[in-house]
Protein backbone atom coordinates (compact mmCIF):
# COMPACT_ATOMS: atom_id res chain seq x y z
CA UNK A 1 0.00 0.00 0.00
CA UNK A 2 2.48 2.58 1.12
CA UNK A 3 5.52 1.43 -0.77
CA UNK A 4 7.02 -0.87 1.85
CA UNK A 5 10.30 -2.41 0.82
CA UNK A 6 11.69 0.76 -0.75
CA UNK A 7 13.56 3.35 1.26
CA UNK A 8 15.44 6.40 0.10
CA UNK A 9 19.20 6.66 0.22
CA UNK A 10 20.42 7.97 3.60
CA UNK A 11 23.48 9.86 2.36
CA UNK A 12 24.33 12.29 -0.40
CA UNK A 13 26.90 12.04 -3.18
CA UNK A 14 29.53 14.76 -2.66
CA UNK A 15 27.02 17.35 -1.45
CA UNK A 16 27.64 20.96 -2.38
CA UNK A 17 28.17 23.28 0.57
CA UNK A 18 26.15 26.45 -0.03
CA UNK A 19 26.95 29.77 1.56
CA UNK A 20 23.99 31.61 3.03
CA UNK A 21 22.71 34.08 0.39
CA UNK A 22 22.91 37.71 1.42
CA UNK A 23 19.20 38.41 1.08
CA UNK A 24 17.23 35.33 -0.05
CA UNK A 25 15.11 33.55 2.52
CA UNK A 26 12.50 30.82 2.45
CA UNK A 27 9.18 32.68 1.96
CA UNK A 28 6.92 33.25 4.95
CA UNK A 29 4.02 31.55 3.19
CA UNK A 30 2.52 30.44 -0.10
CA UNK A 31 -0.91 29.25 -1.19
CA UNK A 32 -1.95 25.94 -2.72
CA UNK A 33 -5.36 26.94 -3.98
CA UNK A 34 -7.39 27.82 -0.90
CA UNK A 35 -4.83 26.33 1.52
CA UNK A 36 -2.27 28.67 3.05
CA UNK A 37 1.05 27.04 3.89
CA UNK A 38 3.13 29.01 6.37
CA UNK A 39 6.06 28.96 6.39
CA UNK A 40 6.72 27.80 2.84
CA UNK A 41 8.28 24.48 3.86
CA UNK A 42 6.98 21.01 3.06
CA UNK A 43 7.81 17.60 4.51
CA UNK A 44 8.33 15.33 1.50
CA UNK A 45 6.33 12.11 1.24
CA UNK A 46 8.68 9.21 2.03
CA UNK A 47 7.76 5.54 1.91
CA UNK A 48 8.33 3.86 5.24
CA UNK A 49 8.96 7.21 6.94
CA UNK A 50 6.15 9.76 6.91
CA UNK A 51 3.42 7.97 8.83
CA UNK A 52 1.27 9.88 11.32
CA UNK A 53 3.77 9.46 14.18
CA UNK A 54 6.68 10.86 12.22
CA UNK A 55 4.57 13.67 10.77
CA UNK A 56 3.43 14.83 14.23
CA UNK A 57 6.94 14.36 15.53
CA UNK A 58 8.26 16.71 12.83
CA UNK A 59 5.45 19.23 13.19
CA UNK A 60 6.09 19.64 16.91
CA UNK A 61 9.85 19.33 16.59
CA UNK A 62 9.62 22.39 14.38
CA UNK A 63 8.00 24.80 16.82
CA UNK A 64 9.44 28.24 16.48
CA UNK A 65 8.07 31.70 17.05
CA UNK A 66 9.84 34.87 16.00
CA UNK A 67 8.41 36.48 19.13
CA UNK A 68 10.50 34.25 21.38
CA UNK A 69 14.07 33.08 21.55
CA UNK A 70 14.92 29.42 21.07
CA UNK A 71 15.19 28.90 24.83
CA UNK A 72 11.91 30.69 25.53
CA UNK A 73 9.93 28.68 23.00
CA UNK A 74 9.93 25.51 25.12
CA UNK A 75 8.44 27.27 28.13
CA UNK A 76 5.74 29.04 26.15
CA UNK A 77 2.24 27.60 26.05
CA UNK A 78 2.23 24.80 23.49
CA UNK A 79 -1.32 25.70 22.55
CA UNK A 80 -0.22 29.24 21.78
CA UNK A 81 2.93 28.11 19.95
CA UNK A 82 1.34 25.70 17.50
CA UNK A 83 0.03 27.72 14.60
CA UNK A 84 0.89 27.51 10.93
CA UNK A 85 2.59 30.89 11.14
CA UNK A 86 4.86 29.78 13.98
CA UNK A 87 5.64 26.20 13.07
CA UNK A 88 8.79 25.58 11.11
CA UNK A 89 7.09 22.95 8.92
CA UNK A 90 4.22 24.39 6.93
CA UNK A 91 2.79 21.30 5.16
CA UNK A 92 2.95 17.61 6.03
CA UNK A 93 2.57 14.84 3.46
CA UNK A 94 1.68 11.16 3.88
CA UNK A 95 3.59 8.21 2.55
CA UNK A 96 2.56 7.53 -1.02
CA UNK A 97 -0.42 5.17 -1.13
CA UNK A 98 -1.67 2.90 -3.90
CA UNK A 99 -4.81 4.33 -5.48
CA UNK A 100 -5.82 0.85 -6.58
CA UNK A 101 -5.52 -0.56 -3.07
CA UNK A 102 -7.28 2.43 -1.55
CA UNK A 103 -10.27 2.16 -3.86
CA UNK A 104 -10.66 -1.60 -3.33
CA UNK A 105 -10.27 -2.02 0.42
CA UNK A 106 -13.08 -1.68 2.92
CA UNK A 107 -13.44 1.59 4.80
CA UNK A 108 -12.29 0.21 8.16
CA UNK A 109 -8.96 -0.91 6.70
CA UNK A 110 -8.35 2.43 4.98
CA UNK A 111 -7.91 4.05 8.37
CA UNK A 112 -4.56 2.37 8.77
CA UNK A 113 -3.22 4.18 5.73
CA UNK A 114 -5.12 7.46 6.02
CA UNK A 115 -4.92 8.11 9.76
CA UNK A 116 -4.09 11.64 10.79
CA UNK A 117 -4.77 13.89 13.76
CA UNK A 118 -6.14 17.42 13.94
CA UNK A 119 -2.73 18.88 14.80
CA UNK A 120 -1.41 17.70 11.42
CA UNK A 121 -3.35 20.27 9.38
CA UNK A 122 -2.54 21.38 6.78
CA UNK A 123 -1.82 17.89 5.47
CA UNK A 124 -1.67 16.38 1.99
CA UNK A 125 -2.26 12.75 1.00
CA UNK A 126 -0.16 11.40 -1.84
CA UNK A 127 -1.37 8.64 -4.17
CA UNK A 128 0.17 6.69 -7.04
CA UNK A 129 -1.22 4.59 -9.86
CA UNK A 130 -1.81 4.68 -13.60
CA UNK A 131 -5.57 4.34 -14.08
CA UNK A 132 -7.35 7.73 -14.28
CA UNK A 133 -10.69 6.45 -12.92
CA UNK A 134 -9.05 4.62 -10.02
CA UNK A 135 -6.93 7.63 -9.12
CA UNK A 136 -10.03 9.84 -9.26
CA UNK A 137 -11.86 7.49 -6.87
CA UNK A 138 -8.88 7.46 -4.50
CA UNK A 139 -8.81 11.27 -4.58
CA UNK A 140 -12.50 11.36 -3.63
CA UNK A 141 -11.80 9.09 -0.66
CA UNK A 142 -8.97 11.39 0.42
CA UNK A 143 -11.21 14.45 0.18
CA UNK A 144 -13.97 12.72 2.17
CA UNK A 145 -11.45 11.69 4.83
CA UNK A 146 -10.64 15.35 5.47
CA UNK A 147 -7.22 15.91 3.95
CA UNK A 148 -6.46 19.47 2.87
CA UNK A 149 -4.91 18.58 -0.50
CA UNK A 150 -4.26 15.55 -2.70
CA UNK A 151 -0.96 14.95 -4.48
CA UNK A 152 -0.07 12.66 -7.40
CA UNK A 153 3.24 10.81 -7.24
CA UNK A 154 5.14 10.91 -10.54
CA UNK A 155 8.54 10.62 -8.91
CA UNK A 156 9.03 7.28 -7.16
CA UNK A 157 11.87 5.37 -8.91
CA UNK A 158 11.21 1.99 -7.22
CA UNK A 159 11.17 -0.85 -9.75
CA UNK A 160 7.97 -2.45 -8.50
CA UNK A 161 6.11 0.86 -8.71
CA UNK A 162 7.57 1.77 -12.10
CA UNK A 163 6.82 -1.75 -13.33
CA UNK A 164 3.10 -1.04 -12.83
CA UNK A 165 3.51 2.24 -14.76
CA UNK A 166 3.17 4.19 -11.51
CA UNK A 167 5.40 6.84 -9.99
CA UNK A 168 8.14 7.99 -12.36
CA UNK A 169 7.15 5.25 -14.80
CA UNK A 170 4.40 7.55 -16.08
CA UNK A 171 6.98 10.12 -17.15
CA UNK A 172 7.21 8.13 -20.39
CA UNK A 173 3.49 8.65 -21.11
CA UNK A 174 2.47 12.32 -21.08
CA UNK A 175 -0.93 11.69 -22.73
CA UNK A 176 -1.84 9.30 -19.91
CA UNK A 177 -0.72 11.89 -17.34
CA UNK A 178 -3.01 14.44 -18.97
CA UNK A 179 -5.94 12.00 -18.64
CA UNK A 180 -5.11 11.48 -14.96
CA UNK A 181 -4.88 15.21 -14.32
CA UNK A 182 -8.33 15.77 -15.83
CA UNK A 183 -9.96 12.83 -14.04
CA UNK A 184 -8.65 13.76 -10.60
CA UNK A 185 -9.29 17.47 -11.10
CA UNK A 186 -12.92 16.75 -12.01
CA UNK A 187 -13.32 14.40 -9.03
CA UNK A 188 -12.38 16.70 -6.13
CA UNK A 189 -12.76 20.28 -5.02
CA UNK A 190 -9.73 20.33 -2.69
CA UNK A 191 -6.41 21.55 -4.11
CA UNK A 192 -4.64 19.07 -6.38
CA UNK A 193 -0.85 19.00 -6.82
CA UNK A 194 1.78 16.78 -8.44
CA UNK A 195 5.34 15.82 -7.53
CA UNK A 196 7.55 14.72 -10.40
CA UNK A 197 11.11 14.36 -11.62
CA UNK A 198 13.00 15.90 -14.53
CA UNK A 199 12.11 12.98 -16.77
CA UNK A 200 12.93 9.33 -17.28
CA UNK A 201 16.59 10.00 -18.16
CA UNK A 202 18.82 12.70 -19.56
CA UNK A 203 17.52 12.15 -23.09
CA UNK A 204 13.90 12.75 -22.06
CA UNK A 205 13.75 15.83 -19.82
CA UNK A 206 10.04 16.71 -19.80
CA UNK A 207 9.64 18.66 -16.54
CA UNK A 208 8.82 22.02 -18.15
CA UNK A 209 6.24 20.50 -20.49
CA UNK A 210 4.73 18.54 -17.63
CA UNK A 211 4.49 21.61 -15.41
CA UNK A 212 2.73 23.56 -18.15
CA UNK A 213 0.31 20.67 -18.63
CA UNK A 214 -0.42 20.61 -14.89
CA UNK A 215 -1.22 24.30 -14.92
CA UNK A 216 -3.46 24.02 -17.98
CA UNK A 217 -5.40 21.14 -16.39
CA UNK A 218 -6.15 23.12 -13.24
CA UNK A 219 -3.60 21.79 -10.76
CA UNK A 220 -2.78 24.18 -7.94
CA UNK A 221 0.97 23.64 -7.51
CA UNK A 222 3.86 21.47 -8.71
CA UNK A 223 6.84 20.03 -6.84
CA UNK A 224 9.97 19.11 -8.77
CA UNK A 225 12.63 16.71 -7.51
CA UNK A 226 15.45 17.86 -9.74
CA UNK A 227 16.76 14.42 -10.71
CA UNK A 228 15.75 11.93 -13.40
CA UNK A 229 14.26 8.54 -12.66
CA UNK A 230 17.52 6.99 -13.86
CA UNK A 231 19.45 8.97 -11.25
CA UNK A 232 17.20 7.83 -8.39
CA UNK A 233 18.95 9.53 -5.42
CA UNK A 234 22.47 9.62 -6.84
CA UNK A 235 24.47 12.53 -8.20
CA UNK A 236 23.55 16.17 -7.81
CA UNK A 237 20.06 17.63 -8.00
CA UNK A 238 19.96 20.04 -10.94
CA UNK A 239 18.29 23.11 -9.54
CA UNK A 240 18.50 24.97 -12.85
CA UNK A 241 15.50 22.92 -14.00
CA UNK A 242 13.49 24.12 -11.01
CA UNK A 243 14.25 27.65 -12.19
CA UNK A 244 13.12 26.72 -15.72
CA UNK A 245 9.82 25.36 -14.40
CA UNK A 246 9.30 28.45 -12.28
CA UNK A 247 9.73 30.64 -15.36
CA UNK A 248 7.30 28.48 -17.36
CA UNK A 249 4.24 28.52 -15.06
CA UNK A 250 2.36 30.89 -12.78
CA UNK A 251 1.18 28.32 -10.21
CA UNK A 252 3.45 27.77 -7.18
CA UNK A 253 6.60 25.72 -7.72
CA UNK A 254 8.07 23.73 -4.83
CA UNK A 255 11.79 22.94 -5.09
CA UNK A 256 13.10 19.57 -3.92
CA UNK A 257 16.48 17.85 -3.97
CA UNK A 258 19.68 18.18 -1.91
CA UNK A 259 18.24 20.52 0.74
CA UNK A 260 20.19 19.40 3.81
CA UNK A 261 20.66 22.65 5.75
CA UNK A 262 19.09 26.10 6.19
CA UNK A 263 21.85 27.39 3.90
CA UNK A 264 20.69 24.97 1.19
CA UNK A 265 17.06 26.03 1.64
CA UNK A 266 17.93 29.70 1.23
CA UNK A 267 20.23 28.93 -1.71
CA UNK A 268 17.60 27.02 -3.69
CA UNK A 269 15.15 29.90 -3.29
CA UNK A 270 17.87 32.34 -4.32
CA UNK A 271 18.95 30.35 -7.38
CA UNK A 272 15.55 29.21 -8.67
CA UNK A 273 12.94 31.65 -7.38
CA UNK A 274 10.83 28.69 -6.17
CA UNK A 275 7.85 29.47 -3.95
CA UNK A 276 8.58 26.83 -1.31
CA UNK A 277 11.06 24.11 -0.38
CA UNK A 278 10.36 20.41 0.13
CA UNK A 279 12.66 18.44 2.41
CA UNK A 280 12.98 14.67 2.38
CA UNK A 281 16.07 12.78 3.56
CA UNK A 282 17.31 15.61 5.76
CA UNK A 283 14.21 15.41 7.98
CA UNK A 284 14.80 11.98 9.57
CA UNK A 285 18.55 12.57 9.85
CA UNK A 286 18.06 16.08 11.30
CA UNK A 287 14.51 16.53 12.65
CA UNK A 288 15.42 20.10 13.61
CA UNK A 289 15.82 21.17 9.97
CA UNK A 290 12.46 22.95 9.63
CA UNK A 291 12.90 24.78 12.92
CA UNK A 292 16.42 25.80 11.94
CA UNK A 293 15.13 27.25 8.66
CA UNK A 294 12.47 29.20 10.55
CA UNK A 295 15.03 30.42 13.07
CA UNK A 296 17.41 31.56 10.36
CA UNK A 297 14.66 33.34 8.45
CA UNK A 298 13.59 35.21 11.57
CA UNK A 299 16.93 35.91 13.23
CA UNK A 300 19.76 35.34 10.76
CA UNK A 301 21.12 32.45 12.83
CA UNK A 302 20.06 29.01 13.99
CA UNK A 303 20.88 26.66 16.85
CA UNK A 304 22.39 23.20 16.51
CA UNK A 305 21.51 20.22 18.71
CA UNK A 306 23.89 18.82 21.30
CA UNK A 307 24.25 15.10 21.98
CA UNK A 308 21.88 15.50 24.93
CA UNK A 309 19.33 17.10 22.60
CA UNK A 310 19.70 14.20 20.20
CA UNK A 311 19.26 11.65 23.00
CA UNK A 312 16.02 13.22 24.13
CA UNK A 313 14.85 13.54 20.52
CA UNK A 314 15.43 9.83 19.80
CA UNK A 315 13.68 8.56 22.88
CA UNK A 316 10.81 11.02 22.42
CA UNK A 317 10.09 9.65 18.97
CA UNK A 318 10.46 6.06 20.17
CA UNK A 319 8.03 6.74 23.02
CA UNK A 320 5.54 8.10 20.50
CA UNK A 321 5.89 4.95 18.40
CA UNK A 322 5.26 2.74 21.42
CA UNK A 323 2.26 4.80 22.48
CA UNK A 324 0.77 4.68 18.99
CA UNK A 325 1.24 0.90 18.83
CA UNK A 326 -0.44 0.46 22.21
CA UNK A 327 -3.39 2.62 21.20
CA UNK A 328 -3.90 1.08 17.75
CA UNK A 329 -6.45 -1.69 17.28
CA UNK A 330 -5.71 -2.39 13.60
CA UNK A 331 -3.48 -5.41 14.35
CA UNK A 332 -2.96 -7.94 17.16
CA UNK A 333 -0.90 -6.50 20.01
CA UNK A 334 2.18 -8.70 19.39
CA UNK A 335 2.19 -7.76 15.70
CA UNK A 336 1.89 -4.06 16.51
CA UNK A 337 4.78 -4.11 18.94
CA UNK A 338 6.92 -6.26 16.67
CA UNK A 339 6.38 -3.81 13.83
CA UNK A 340 7.21 -0.92 16.15
CA UNK A 341 10.51 -2.48 17.24
CA UNK A 342 11.41 -2.88 13.56
CA UNK A 343 10.56 0.75 12.88
CA UNK A 344 12.67 1.89 15.83
CA UNK A 345 15.63 -0.03 14.39
CA UNK A 346 15.04 1.61 11.00
CA UNK A 347 14.99 5.09 12.50
CA UNK A 348 18.00 4.45 14.70
CA UNK A 349 20.07 4.45 11.50
CA UNK A 350 18.57 7.81 10.49
CA UNK A 351 18.78 9.47 13.90
CA UNK A 352 22.37 8.43 14.61
CA UNK A 353 23.58 9.81 11.28
CA UNK A 354 26.66 11.88 12.18
CA UNK A 355 26.75 10.75 15.84
CA UNK A 356 30.23 9.72 16.98
CA UNK A 357 30.36 5.92 17.40
CA UNK A 358 26.81 5.74 16.04
CA UNK A 359 27.64 2.43 14.35
CA UNK A 360 28.10 0.88 17.78
CA UNK A 361 24.61 1.97 18.84
CA UNK A 362 23.13 0.68 15.61
CA UNK A 363 24.71 -2.72 16.24
CA UNK A 364 23.28 -2.82 19.75
CA UNK A 365 19.82 -1.80 18.57
CA UNK A 366 19.80 -4.36 15.75
CA UNK A 367 19.82 -7.33 18.15
CA UNK A 368 17.01 -5.98 20.35
CA UNK A 369 13.75 -7.94 20.36
CA UNK A 370 11.36 -5.34 21.78
CA UNK A 371 10.82 -1.59 21.74
CA UNK A 372 11.71 -1.34 25.42
CA UNK A 373 15.03 -3.07 24.74
CA UNK A 374 15.71 -0.53 21.97
CA UNK A 375 15.03 2.35 24.38
CA UNK A 376 17.32 0.81 27.00
CA UNK A 377 20.11 0.44 24.43
CA UNK A 378 19.74 4.09 23.40
CA UNK A 379 19.84 5.21 27.03
CA UNK A 380 22.94 3.15 27.85
CA UNK A 381 24.77 4.47 24.78
CA UNK A 382 24.12 8.16 25.40
CA UNK A 383 24.44 7.96 29.18
CA UNK A 384 27.87 6.41 28.76
CA UNK A 385 28.95 9.04 26.24
CA UNK A 386 27.67 12.00 28.24
CA UNK A 387 29.16 10.70 31.49
CA UNK A 388 32.51 10.23 29.77
CA UNK A 389 32.31 13.80 28.50
CA UNK A 390 31.50 15.15 31.95
CA UNK A 391 27.86 16.01 31.12
CA UNK A 392 24.98 15.34 33.49
CA UNK A 393 23.07 12.27 32.25
CA UNK A 394 19.64 12.71 33.82
CA UNK A 395 17.86 13.36 30.57
CA UNK A 396 16.34 9.87 30.34
CA UNK A 397 14.66 10.16 33.72
CA UNK A 398 13.18 13.52 32.79
CA UNK A 399 11.94 12.17 29.49
CA UNK A 400 10.40 9.13 31.18
CA UNK A 401 8.46 11.37 33.56
CA UNK A 402 7.11 13.41 30.68
CA UNK A 403 6.15 10.55 28.40
CA UNK A 404 4.91 7.62 30.46
CA UNK A 405 1.14 7.36 30.38
CA UNK A 406 0.67 9.85 27.57
CA UNK A 407 -1.78 9.09 24.78
CA UNK A 408 -0.54 8.44 21.26
CA UNK A 409 -1.85 11.72 19.91
CA UNK A 410 -0.35 13.89 22.66
CA UNK A 411 2.55 14.83 20.37
CA UNK A 412 2.63 18.40 21.67
CA UNK A 413 3.30 17.30 25.24
CA UNK A 414 5.89 14.77 24.11
CA UNK A 415 7.91 17.08 21.88
CA UNK A 416 7.56 20.65 23.14
CA UNK A 417 10.48 20.34 25.56
CA UNK A 418 12.38 17.74 23.58
CA UNK A 419 13.35 20.03 20.73
CA UNK A 420 14.76 23.15 22.32
CA UNK A 421 18.38 23.04 21.17
CA UNK A 422 20.65 23.78 24.09
CA UNK A 423 23.68 24.57 22.01
CATH number of the domain enclosing 142? 3.20.20.70
- Mark whether 260 and 365 lie in a shared domain: no
| Highest mean pLDDT pick, 81-95, 106-120, 136-150, 359-373 | 136-150
How confident is residue 47, by pLDDT bands cut at 50, 70 and 90? confident
How far, in Å, CA of 89 to CA of 82, rounded? 11
Is 18 among the domain residues? no
| Highest mean pLDDT pick, 55-69, 191-205, 305-319 | 191-205
When comparing pLDDT for 147 and 364, which is higher?
Answer: 147
Please report the pLDDT score of residue 158 as a whole number. 77
Looking at 281, 299, 317, the residue that finishes a domain is 299
Q: What percent of the chain has pLDDT over 70?
A: 79
Is 12 among the domain residues? no
- Mark whether 368 and 257 lie in a shared domain: no
pTM of the model: 0.83
- Mark whether 261 and 378 lie in a shared domain: no
Looking at 299, 316, 341, the residue that finishes a domain is 299
When comparing pLDDT for 108 and 196, which is higher?
Answer: 196
- Mark whether 64 and 42 lie in a shared domain: yes
| Highest mean pLDDT pick, 23-32, 58-67, 273-282, 360-369 | 273-282
How far, in Å, CA of 314 to CA of 283, rounded? 13
Is 65 among the domain residues? yes
Please report the pLDDT score of residue 179 as a whole number. 97
Asked whether the beta carbons of 361 and 381 are under 8 A apart, the reply is: yes
| Highest mean pLDDT pick, 13-17, 133-137, 346-350 | 133-137
- Mark whether 81 and 154 lie in a shared domain: yes
Beta strand extents in 258-341 (DSSP E only): 276-279
Asked whether the beta carbons of 50 and 114 are under 8 A apart, the reply is: no
- Mark whether 269 and 395 lie in a shared domain: no
Is 155 among the domain residues? yes
Please report the pLDDT score of residue 14 as a whole number. 65
- Mark whether 148 and 195 lie in a shared domain: yes
Q: With the CA atoms of 127, 128, 131 and 133 taken in that order, what torsion angle do they form, in degrees rounded to the nearest 10? A: 0
Is 249 among the domain residues? yes
Write phi, then psi, for 198 (nearest 5 degrees). -60, -35
- Mark whether 242 and 379 lie in a shared domain: no
Tell me: pLDDT of 401 over 70: no
How confident is residue 70, by pLDDT bands cut at 50, 70 and 90? very low
Is 25 among the domain residues? no
How confident is residue 162, by pLDDT bands cut at 50, 70 and 90? confident
How confident is residue 405, by pLDDT bands cut at 50, 70 and 90? very low
112 CB-contact burial (10 Å; exposed 0-12 / middle 13-18 / buried 19+): middle
Residues found in the chain: 423
106 CB-contact burial (10 Å; exposed 0-12 / middle 13-18 / buried 19+): exposed
Q: In the predicted model, what is the mean pLDDT of residues 35-51?
A: 92
How confident is residue 31, by pLDDT bands cut at 50, 70 and 90? very high
Q: In the predicted model, what is the mean pLDDT of residues 27-47?
A: 94
Please report the pLDDT score of residue 407 as a whole number. 44
- Mark whether 210 and 96 lie in a shared domain: yes
Tell me: pLDDT of 332 over 80: no
When comparing pLDDT for 68 and 171, which is higher?
Answer: 171
How far, in Å, CA of 105 to CA of 153, rounded? 20
Q: In the predicted model, what is the mean pLDDT of residues 26-43?
A: 95
- Mark whether 311 and 405 lie in a shared domain: yes
- Mark whether 202 and 55 lie in a shared domain: yes
Residue 383, number of CB atoms within 10 A of its CB: 16
Is 118 among the domain residues? yes
Q: Based on the structure, what is the number of domains in the chain?
A: 2
How confident is residue 74, by pLDDT bands cut at 50, 70 and 90? very low
How confident is residue 110, by pLDDT bands cut at 50, 70 and 90? confident
Tell me: pLDDT of 423 over 60: no
When comparing pLDDT for 25 and 178, which is higher?
Answer: 178
Report, as residue numbers or ranges, the catalytic residues.
Answer: 156
Please report the pLDDT score of residue 247 as a whole number. 98
What are the CA-CA distances from residue 226 to residues 30, 51, 255, 404 (Å)? 20, 24, 8, 43
- Mark whether 119 and 218 lie in a shared domain: yes
Looking at 261, 276, 299, the residue that finishes a domain is 299
Q: In the predicted model, what is the mean pLDDT of residues 39-59?
A: 91
Is 338 among the domain residues? yes
Tell me: pLDDT of 202 over 50: yes
Q: Which domain holds residue 395?
A: 307-415
How confident is residue 180, by pLDDT bands cut at 50, 70 and 90? very high
Tell me: pLDDT of 241 over 60: yes
Amino acid sequence: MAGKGFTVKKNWDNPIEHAMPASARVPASFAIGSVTVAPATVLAPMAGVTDTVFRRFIRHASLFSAATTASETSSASVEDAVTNQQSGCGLLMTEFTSADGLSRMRESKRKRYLTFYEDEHPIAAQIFGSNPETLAEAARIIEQTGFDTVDLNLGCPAKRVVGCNGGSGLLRDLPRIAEIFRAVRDAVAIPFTVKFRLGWNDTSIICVELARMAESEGLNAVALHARTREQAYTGQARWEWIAAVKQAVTIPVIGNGDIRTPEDAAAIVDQTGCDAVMIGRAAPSNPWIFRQIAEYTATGAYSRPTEADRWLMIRTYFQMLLAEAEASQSQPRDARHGETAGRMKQFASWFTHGVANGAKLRQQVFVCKTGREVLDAVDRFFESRLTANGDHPEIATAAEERTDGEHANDAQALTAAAFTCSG
